[in-house]
Amino acid sequence: MAKIASSFLDISYLDSLSRLQSPIHRLDPRVKVIATALYLISVVSFGKYEITGLIPFFVYPIVLIALGDLPLVYLLKKILIAAPFAFFIGMFNPLIDRAVVMHLGPIGISGGWISFVSIMLRFVLTVGAVLALIASTGFASICMSLEKMGVPNVFAVQLLFLYRYIFVLIDEASRMVRARSLRVFEKRGMGFSVFISMIGQLLLRALDRAQRIHRAMRCRGFDGEIRMTRPLAFCRRDGVFVLGWSALFVLMRLYDIPQWMGERITGLIG
Amino acid sequence: MSHHIVELKDLHYTYPDGNAALHGVSFRITHGETVAIVGANGAGKSTILLHLNGCLIPETGTVRIGDFPLTRKTLDHVRRTVGMVFQDPDDQLFMPSVYEDVAFGPLNLGLPPEDVAERVTQALTTVGALHLKDRPPYRLSGGEKRSVAIASVLSMSPSILVMDEPTSNLDPKSRRQLIQLLKTFAHTIILATHDLDMVLDLCARTIVLKKGRVEADGSTSDILQNAVLLESCRLEKPFALQACPICSPVPSGNNSILQSKQHAKHNHL
């Protein structure tokens, strides 16, 4: 229970970050969404043994976090929570792909290890960037900007409602868990069958609530389209942001900057 | 002023699961009245409310809102006329911020943005919640949520307000503020509630339901003093009309706990 409640507090903390004031927060949400999408595509599109080419991409989340006054430690913890997923995706690579592709002194490093490191790097980069985006923009604004950019209304609204009612659902679930734990003695009643019926119960309650919400929406003239009023103003600053970053991402994607710098430096020394 | 009239004639409703909720309900509420609908759990209060703005369409019998009978064709008109405040504000406040939630209705009415802004400010000022406008609804207190839920309906300028248990889950002070607020409204107000003290304060007329039928319909002061009628409908006199348990203890009903305590003290002495 404590776990559910604390993760709930965590989400609302992420949400409260989006109401900070900073140069990043003041940007049009659309440019942040576009820049982040481009960023994700660039990072993901690298070959599977790429490591050095990925390193410069750290600049984007770092700039967002620094200029946006976002708490670094908190975001790192959030990344860590999702880390096992990436870890299990990559963990078999070193076992399967044993061909040695490079030597670090006497130690031969197999392709599997390199692709594993590459996966973990990409994971940190992508999740970090998306978290920084959410923390500096707010989920609602992201949904809205998606809708403004032509994502079908249905999807945007789905996302919006998902986010709005996560809080209510977690509240409901934690009340249920609390109610059970108060009547559980010596682990009796903690079984799987009880858990299943609780999940079922939660589903039924959610359906009921969905119906009531739909009713409330119909009562206020809902006709399938959500209209938002937040004015979005695209100004020069936004243009500079999106163009600057896009150019940099393309550059970093096409040219291996660390390698180029390394060659220049060794060239100078030689 | 026929457009503010609410009239039910011989309304029947059976839920899809076979539960017959209404067996011929009729009443007529005229412009500017404040009417309470009271009754036991399951007496049909909520079912009636759901008919008043077309969440349910009458099967047998008719519902008239103003000049129009309630049918699928007149739904839009009816929903514009009747503002419904739900019991659980979480059901009603679904937008990311208070402002957007209050603007939801007016935007759907197709009003121009300046008018929407004006209406939202007006509605939030009326309920005293203008300072909450940028907050997300799920982070408000119960009383604040209720105020915002009312504002979200006021912003559509309905002529009839329908409320389901408006004082439930409110602390005494918020409850009092809500009652004072409702007193200032010129709308026709229809309340379904168990809070009979509020009914006494607010409503000149009361309709008592019992098992899907109108058991009594008349002046609040007559009905709420009729102990026999209230008892038969699983209701009680409001506290304001009960004798003070300390000045004039009665040997039965609610006050028995206090009595027996005093009694015990007496014996010990």
Residue A102: count of CB within 10 angstroms of its CB: 12
Return the pLDDT at A1: 44
Does residue A229 form part of some domain? no
Residues A81-104, mean pLDDT to the nearest whole number = 84
DSSP letter string over chain B?
Answer: -GGG-EEEEEEEEE-TTS-EEEEEEEEEE-TT-EEEEEESTTSSHHHHHHHHTTSS--SEEEEEETTEE--GGGHHHHHHHEEEE-SSHHHH--SSSHHHHHHHHHHHTT--HHHHHHHHHHHHHHTT-GGGTTS-GGGS-HHHHHHHHHHHHHTT--SEEEEESTTTT--HHHHHHHHHHHHT--SEEEEE-S-HHHHHHH-SEEEEEETTEEEEEEEHHHHHH-HHHHHHTT----GGGSPPTTTS--SSGGGHHHHHHHHHHHHH-
The nearest alpha carbon in chain B to A230 belongs to: B100
Residues 215-254 of A with CB under 8 A from B: 215-223, 226-230
Q: What are the chain B neighbours of A163 within 8 Å (beta carbons)?
A: 96
Distance from CA of A35 to the nearest CA of B (A): 24
How do beta strands B20-29 and B160-164 pair?
unpaired
Residues in chain A: 270
Backbone angles phi, psi at A178, to 5 degrees: -65, -45
Return the pLDDT at A3: 58
Share of chain A above pLDDT 90, in %: 23
Does residue A206 form part of some domain? no
Nearest CB partner across the interface for B108, out of A165, A209, A223: A223
Q: What are the chain B neighbours of A227 within 8 Å (beta carbons)?
A: 104, 107-108
Beta strand segments in A69-201, E: 100-104, 107-110
In tens digits, what is the pLDDT along chain B, a chain of 269 residues? Answer: 456 789 999 999 998 888 889 999 999 999 999 999 999 998 999 899 989 988 888 888 999 998 889 988 888 888 888 999 988 888 888 888 899 889 988 888 888 889 999 999 999 999 999 999 988 888 889 889 999 999 999 998 899 999 999 998 889 999 999 999 999 998 999 999 999 999 999 999 999 999 999 999 999 999 999 999 999 999 999 988 888 888 877 665 555 455 445 545 545 44
Give yes or no for A10 touching B (CB within 8 A).
Answer: no
- B94–A161 CB contact, under 8 Å: yes
- B55–A229 CB contact, under 8 Å: no
- A221–B108 CB contact, under 8 Å: yes
Give yes or no for A172 touching B (CB within 8 A).
Answer: no
Nearest CB partner across the interface for B79, out of A19, A213, A219: A219
Query: CA-CA distance, B203 to B18, in Å (whole number)?
Result: 34
Does residue A246 form part of some domain? yes
Query: CA-CA distance, B148 to B89, in Å (whole number)?
Result: 8
Of B8, B101, B103, B102, nearest in space to B53 by CA:
B8
Does residue A188 form part of some domain? no
Query: Which of A12, A17, A219, A222 is the best mutation test for B, with the most CBs of B within 10 A?
Result: A219
Please tell me what DSSP assigns to residue A239: H
Distance from CA of B240 to the nearest CA of A (A): 34
Backbone angles phi, psi at B203, to 5 degrees: -110, 130
Helix (H, G, I), strand (E, B) or coil at A228: coil
Q: What domain count does chain A have?
A: 1
Residues 140-159 of A with CB under 8 A from B: 140
- B79–A160 CB contact, under 8 Å: no
CA distances from A226 to A7, A147, A230, B54, B234 (A): 29, 10, 12, 21, 43
| Chain position carrying tokens 């009309």 | B241
Return the pLDDT at A221: 83
Residues 23-42 of A with CB under 8 A from B: none
Does residue A123 form part of some domain? yes
Give yes or no for A168 touching B (CB within 8 A).
Answer: yes
- A229–B113 CB contact, under 8 Å: yes
Highest mean pLDDT among A47-61, A188-202, B128-142, B216-230: B216-230
Does residue A49 form part of some domain? yes
pLDDT digits (tens, 9 = 90+) for A132-174: 999 998 888 888 888 888 888 888 888 888 888 887 888 888 8
* C-alpha neighbours within 13 Å on the C-beta side of residue B251: 1
pLDDT digits (tens, 9 = 90+) for A110-119: 888 888 999 9
- A139–B91 CB contact, under 8 Å: no
Query: CA-CA distance, A76 to A78, in Å (whole number)?
Result: 5
How do beta strands A100-104 and A107-110 pair?
antiparallel
The nearest alpha carbon in chain A to B101 belongs to: A228
Ordered by start, the domain boundaries in chain B are 2-98+160-237, 245-269
For the complex shown, is ipTM > 0.85? no
Please tell me what DSSP assigns to residue A188: B
- B153–A160 CB contact, under 8 Å: no
- Match domain B2-98+160-237 to its CATH number in 3.40.190.80, 1.20.1050.140, 3.40.50.300, 3.40.50.1100: 3.40.50.300
Which positions in chain B have a beta carbon within 8 angstroms of at least one beta carbon in chain A? Answer: 50, 53, 55, 76, 79-80, 83-84, 86, 88, 90-92, 94-97, 99-100, 103-105, 107-109, 113, 116-117, 134, 136, 138-139, 152-153, 156
Return the pLDDT at A53: 86
- B88–A212 CB contact, under 8 Å: yes
Return the pLDDT at A66: 93
Does residue A187 form part of some domain? no
Q: Domain limits at A132?
A: 19-137+235-269
Query: Which of B56, B70, B95, B114 is the best mutation test for A, with the most CBs of A within 10 A?
Result: B95
